[in-house]
Amino acid sequence: MSNTITVRDALRDAMAEEMRLDPDVFLLGEEVAQYNGAYKVSQGMLDEFGPNRVVDSPITEHGFAGLGVGAAFTGLKPIIEFMTFNFAMQAIDQIINSAAKTLYMSGGQISCPIVFRGPNGAAMRVGAQHSQCYASWYAHCPGLKVVSPYDAISAKGLLKAAIRDPNPVVFLENEMMYGEHFPIPEQWDEIVELGKAAVVRQGSDVTVVSYSFMVGKCLQAAEQLAAEGIDVEVIDLRTLRPLDKDTIIQSVRKTNRLVSVEEGWTVAGIGSEIAAIAMEEAFDDLDAPVVRVTGADAPMPYAANLVSLTIPRVDQIVDAIKQVTYKS
Amino acid sequence: MSNTITVRDALRDAMAEEMRLDPDVFLLGEEVAQYNGAYKVSQGMLDEFGPNRVVDSPITEHGFAGLGVGAAFTGLKPIIEFMTFNFAMQAIDQIINSAAKTLYMSGGQISCPIVFRGPNGAAMRVGAQHSQCYASWYAHCPGLKVVSPYDAISAKGLLKAAIRDPNPVVFLENEMMYGEHFPIPEQWDEIVELGKAAVVRQGSDVTVVSYSFMVGKCLQAAEQLAAEGIDVEVIDLRTLRPLDKDTIIQSVRKTNRLVSVEEGWTVAGIGSEIAAIAMEEAFDDLDAPVVRVTGADAPMPYAANLVSLTIPRVDQIVDAIKQVTYKS
Amino acid sequence: MKARANKEQMDRDYHIGTIDPKKVPVEELLKYYRDMLLIRRFEEKSGQVYGMGKIAGFCHLYIGQEAVVVGMQSALTPEDTVITAYRDHGHMLACGMDPKGVMAELMGKATGYSKGKGGSMHMFSREKNFFGGHGIVGANVSLGTGIGFAHKYRNSKAVSVTYYGDGAGNQGQVYESFNMAALWKLPVIYVLENNKYSMGTSVERHAAMPDQLYNRGSVFGIPGHVVDGMDILAVKAAADMAVKYVRDGNGPIILEMKTYRYRGHSMSDPAKYRSKEEVESVKEAADPIQHLLAMLQLHKVTEDDLKQIDKEIKEIVNQSVEFSDASPEPDPSELYTDICI
Amino acid sequence: MKARANKEQMDRDYHIGTIDPKKVPVEELLKYYRDMLLIRRFEEKSGQVYGMGKIAGFCHLYIGQEAVVVGMQSALTPEDTVITAYRDHGHMLACGMDPKGVMAELMGKATGYSKGKGGSMHMFSREKNFFGGHGIVGANVSLGTGIGFAHKYRNSKAVSVTYYGDGAGNQGQVYESFNMAALWKLPVIYVLENNKYSMGTSVERHAAMPDQLYNRGSVFGIPGHVVDGMDILAVKAAADMAVKYVRDGNGPIILEMKTYRYRGHSMSDPAKYRSKEEVESVKEAADPIQHLLAMLQLHKVTEDDLKQIDKEIKEIVNQSVEFSDASPEPDPSELYTDICI
Ligand SMILES: Cc1ncc(C[n+]2csc(CCOP(=O)(O)OP(=O)(O)O)c2C)c(N)n1
Ligand SMILES: Cc1ncc(C[n+]2csc(CCOP(=O)(O)OP(=O)(O)O)c2C)c(N)n1
Ligand SMILES: [Mg+2]
Ligand SMILES: [Mg+2]
């Protein structure tokens, strides 16, 4: 496994590297220091950087998010970890009203170079209050950048870019991805530019766009369909705000078919936006209506059998692809 | 003006009537009692119902929303007023995690018959932190019903229905509508069913869907276009969750053209959802791609000239309609 | 002067007494023993069943804190209500909820209190006036304040018992709730279960003035008391006073229970932030069940009596697992029920 | 015993002195006079200009509270930072921001501090270390705590002066901030401007223990003091002590300024929740500018000197309006700038 890296370690390395380079970067959140992170993402960072730069906070999301934003107003570059983004709802006023809007309200005077990060969406059967996907909420709001990585290598490059970005960045991780290993390529981009999607699998028959955890399921679906002769192009959106329309539209011009896949709820989700964009910018290129594959429109249940019905499965993605290619 | 009623009075009447009928209904929020409401929506209610049922709360949105939800768990039917929905961001965890999800998490045991209401979206040049439209955020979330009325008569019927509804209802008003007068018809529905859109203007050439304040602008655009020979059907969505797809799709089947108009931000907005639904359910009926008219993708500015560029204007709606009817 | 006299009067009327274990009827002590032992054994079993993969997600055990809920419950009447956070199994059992339904919920079965849709953190019982079971730290404090509001609104004499942890006690909505509860004299007993840790963060590291947690309502006029949460009778004495104080219409009160959790924060926490010795020393010096056993020694209780109880409890717990094992998963259609009524 | 000795030492080192107006150099008093008068006249003018329709939206005037910001500012150095809520015109002027830029912002002009994009509630000046201007009640308290965190992080001696209202003081994030500021000894002076009303709700109706607001940090170990916010020298004395206390590394402190707003909450508030007599009686008995004028009487200041100042201030204020009138609205392209960098 020496040529692989987990998403967890990639995220840690991104933070640690940026903290070595820039003394203004610090990490603050619940259990990030002595505990090395509730999900061990900040493993070893307290030891390396000490308690002034790796700060354990009390359970006061609203207050410590506001504290981070205030520090960022002065030019520091806080990384604020939410143990999960569910708890960021307590702090969302500071994220939207203070972090996202102040550059504008100050006519460009006060920037807010902050990263809010932590796991988003479902984990392993943790119930309705710990499983929400906030991608579309944040993507809705101007003044933010919103990132949600899939693989370890891009996660690292994206997080480094997010930390260097002079704007508030909401960085949506996924708990079930932390332990996933990804091969370390010979060469890779140390910084992955925000706002750019990646074609992670080339194909000519249909375009599937997704982000985070679901990209893996899409790739699996693509493999499965390759055997059946359907050539699937998979796009990892990576950044959800600003959305890389160009990459999506370019692909749709080629494949004429589009499926969006996300674990979040249906209504006004990222998939809705993708469908609307395709409508606006590629209506005449579409040979079939865009299909949205989304999480079930229900709070997350606990029972194992019900959970398996909520988050999109590979077979659902396969079905959706067949539907738009009229192979079903 | 004796045959008209303002939205403000209609909302007050709805609350007062329900409170007369049901002793479990009470109103709680900032300045709702002695001040008669920051926007005078609860005028006279303290006098009629007394301080136990019309309760002035401290500025503690998170706490009093949670308090309302707790009271609703026991079967009371609180109406929680947010001075504006911008401030409900402080309380949004209680709205989503406690109010919307508990029926599910309790396997149907604990219901939460509560109404969260107050003005949503822009008012008169009140700046970036006081102008956000939360329609798509709330519409995203299962477990809630989301209502956003336009005219006074339906506002009253919808609010009465919301108060009687056994589920948590987010009721998004609009400050600029409070003073608007609407004629009182001879006959009208005392209760307006949630989940049903209304065709507020019949037309055959194009369907325009909207909600709240913007419905008025759509009607103006329709009048203007009637003179030019374009016959516009205007749908007031009224309820944003659950969305009345049937009414929209039925109309689109007739007109084959669809424009959505809202004051909120573009990305993952209500318009995105409308476009996605049209794609899924009426792709072959569409003679043109759906056009979204939305608020500018920017925080709300203060300067008068910039503000006039943010919220959709009648001329923009006219242009959008011409675009889908290929008359531009 | 008046305020002073008032205060003296209050101190006289509402002080926490000491209960002499010898004077407590043995049946009462045995009931506490049963109730506490049920929680202990139930939790141990939950841990095992979790280890077998039959329980998933977060699962927070209550072992070590049993005297708190059992003592509090001893002072309540059926119309009183209880609400807590996610470390809730003990509260549910103390409220009289059926171990079968609790275990079935833990195992995600249709026969669980939430039909398998809630899980460990989200169970409720209208019948037993148990209002959950909440996963967001601090949220239950506002909710419990609202339940108190409802009691008062209805002119009921019921009391809202609202539990929260030492970590939760830093959340802003707790203070928002204190202010409203005090302003409106709501019938709420805030029971702060100070088990010294907020996940891996010790109270000294998360709270300014960590020895003053009981006092954090004082600036809103809410009296607070420190209680030995490892001593069932100390808890009972405090609970009796608090219930009387609140029922008399004096508004809210805070009881800080000094207690300790033996296990990790949740099943996935190896608890490296404290030493084995620390845990062992508490177990030895202050275990609430051992403490109660010592009191029982003052009465005529035989080893056999106790063994019989142990056996019965074990049986109840085993049956709860058997019941759950035999229960079906929820029907797939349940995914889309109970979203709205 | 040690704690006790410590406390005595602290009380000696950090007590609020009394400043004898006769011993204050007249130039200093005149500076206060100028600064306070500038705020008063600027706000009166803002009210007029609002009435003419040239200012829109919310506009919260600071009239009556002038001594608070001017007194606080007198104790600060340029590297200290200031943050407040939406009733911010006075704070900006006291920080030395240009009345022209403030008025232009109020009038939504490109020459305003936020290029016309912020408005009354949202102005900032990096140069003057003024961090806004925030519309969400309570939010600025966490933000100011974060600015204090940054000062400490940078090992700077700067102090974060964080203003908030009596109504804001009920917001939960205030207590979350108190806990963190105390835990980490952050250099923050929390200035609670208690003007007795939270919009239309009097402090007695919105705060439990309304006479203890200064004390609400005490349970986190934050000392609090009540200050006569209508007396510039009382404010200065308190500010001097607080700045010393915080700069010495003792962590945060709270100053509760007893003050009063003369006008409605915002321009649209007719303020029917209080009697004209109440307002008039404060104006007569405690007006901060009249109070300062009385002190000036103790020095050799002539009517003419004062008139001259009045004239100059009037001129500055008028010029701010002329400047703003003559300024252009922001370019339409500005709608889409400054969203992200
Ligand atoms: C708002 C929020 N933030 C963080 C968490 C994650 N979390 C769950 S329990 C917990 C510790 C709480 O400690 P305490 O209140 O002392 O209760 P205890 O676990 O000791 O019973 C944390 C940080 C959460 N569930 N909700
Ligand atoms: C979170 C939030 N809730 C409500 C409001 C509406 N509001 C603006 S100012 C105010 C009163 C604040 O009173 P106080 O803190 O005493 O400050 P003052 O206006 O007296 O200066 C209210 C309720 C708001 N801006 N933000
Ligand atoms: Mg604890
Ligand atoms: Mg005030």
> What's the gap in Å between the CA of D208 and the closest CA on chain B?
10
* Integer-rounded Cα radius of gyration of chain A: 19
Q: Which residue has the tokens 């539990």?
A: C163
Residue contact D57–B126, C-beta within 8 A: yes
Token pair of C221 as six digits: 């006029």
Token pair of A173 as six digits: 């991780």
CA D169 / ligand 4 centre spacing (Å)? 9
pLDDT of residue D1: 47
pLDDT tens, chain A, 328 aa long: 469 999 999 999 999 999 999 999 999 999 999 999 999 999 999 999 999 999 999 999 999 999 999 999 999 999 999 999 999 999 999 999 999 999 999 999 999 999 999 999 999 999 999 999 999 999 999 999 999 999 999 999 999 999 999 999 999 999 999 999 999 998 888 999 999 999 999 999 999 999 999 999 999 999 999 999 999 999 999 999 999 999 999 999 999 999 999 999 999 999 999 999 999 999 999 999 999 999 999 999 999 999 999 999 999 999 999 999 988 6
> What's the gap in Å between the CA of C213 and the closest CA on chain D?
8
Residues in chain B with pLDDT values less than 70: 1-2, 328
pLDDT of residue B1: 47
User: Are A37 and A91 spatial neighbours (Cβ–Cβ below 8 Å)?
Assistant: no
Which of D113, D142, D190 is the best mutation test for A, with the most CBs of A within 10 A?
Answer: D142
- Strands laid side by side in the D160-165 sheet: D81-83, D160-165, D188-194, D253-258, D224-228
Name which of C81, C148, C338 is nearest B103 (Cβ-Cβ). C338
Q: Does the CB atom of residue B65 touch ligand 2 within 6 A?
A: no
- Residue C1 confidence class, pLDDT cut points 50, 70, 90: very low
Least Cα distance to A212 among A175, A261, A174 occurs for: A174
**Catalytic-role residue among B18, B81, B130, B233:** B130
Q: Does the CB atom of residue C168 touch ligand 1 within 6 A?
A: yes
Residue B130 annotated to the active site: yes
**Catalytic-role residue among B61, B173, B175, B273:** B61
- Residue D144 confidence class, pLDDT cut points 50, 70, 90: very high
> What's the gap in Å between the CA of C332 and the closest CA on chain A?
6
pLDDT of residue A327: 82
Which chain B residue is nearest to residue D165, measuring alpha carbons? B59
pLDDT of residue D5: 67
User: Are B63 and C188 spatial neighbours (Cβ–Cβ below 8 Å)?
Assistant: no
Percent of chain C clearing pLDDT 90 (strictly above): 96
Question: Which residue type is seen at D144?
Answer: G
Angle, helix D232-245 to helix D66-73, in steps of 10 degrees: 40
Residue contact B30–D118, C-beta within 8 A: no
Question: Which residue type is seen at C190?
Answer: Y
Token pair of A182 as six digits: 């990804």
A92 touches chain B (CB under 8 A): yes
Residue contact A268–B265, C-beta within 8 A: no
Residue C2 reports pLDDT greater than 90: no
C48 touches chain D (CB under 8 A): no
Dist. CA A220–CA A205, nearest whole Å: 16
Residue contact C149–B67, C-beta within 8 A: yes
Residue B233 annotated to the active site: no
* Integer-rounded Cα radius of gyration of chain D: 20
Which residues have CB under 8 Å from A21's CB, separation 6+? Answer: none
User: What is the DSSP code string of A60-72?
Assistant: -HHHHHHHHHHHH
CB-CB neighbors (< 8 A) of D133 in chain A = 105-106
Least Cα distance to C68 among C197, C256, C325 occurs for: C256
Residue contact B139–A268, C-beta within 8 A: yes
Average pLDDT of the residues in C287-294? 97
Which residues have CB under 8 Å from A296's CB, separation 6+? Answer: A309, A310, C335, C336
Question: Which residue type is seen at C264?
Answer: G
Name which of D208, D212, D215 is nearest C183 (Cβ-Cβ). D208
> What's the gap in Å between the CA of B169 and the closest CA on chain A?
16
> What's the CA angle centered on C151, arms C148 and C153, to 5 degrees?
110
Q: Residue A326 region, left (φ>0) first, then alpha (ψ -120 to 50), else beta?
A: left
pLDDT digit string, tens, across residues C137-155? 999 999 999 999 999 999 9
> Which ligand 1 atom lies nearest to the CA of residue A90?
1
Angle, helix A270-282 to helix B270-282, in steps of 10 degrees: 70
User: What is the DSSP code string of B119-165?
Assistant: E-S--SS--GGG----HHHHHT-TT-EEE---SHHHHHHHHHHHHH-
The answer to whether the pTM exceeds 0.90 is: yes
Relative to beta strand D253-258, strand D224-228 is: parallel
Relative to beta strand A206-210, strand A54-56 is: unpaired
pLDDT digit string, tens, across residues B110-148? 999 999 999 999 999 999 999 999 999 999 999 999 999
- Residue D8 confidence class, pLDDT cut points 50, 70, 90: confident
ipTM, 2 dp: 0.98
What's the start-to-end Cα distance of chain A, in Å? Answer: 40
Dist. CA A78–CA A100, nearest whole Å: 15
pLDDT of residue C300: 87
- Residue D34 confidence class, pLDDT cut points 50, 70, 90: very high
| Burial class of residue B270 (count of CB atoms within 10 Å of its CB; 0-12, 13-18, 19+) | buried
Name which of A58, A129, A309 is nearest C332 (Cβ-Cβ). A309
pLDDT of residue D2: 59
- Residue D12 confidence class, pLDDT cut points 50, 70, 90: confident
Residue contact C338–B62, C-beta within 8 A: no
Half-sphere exposure of A124 (CA within 13 A, CB side): 13
pLDDT of residue C9: 84
Q: Does the CB atom of residue C256 touch ligand 1 within 6 A?
A: no
Token pair of B38 as six digits: 């920051």
Dist. CA B22–CA C267, nearest whole Å: 46
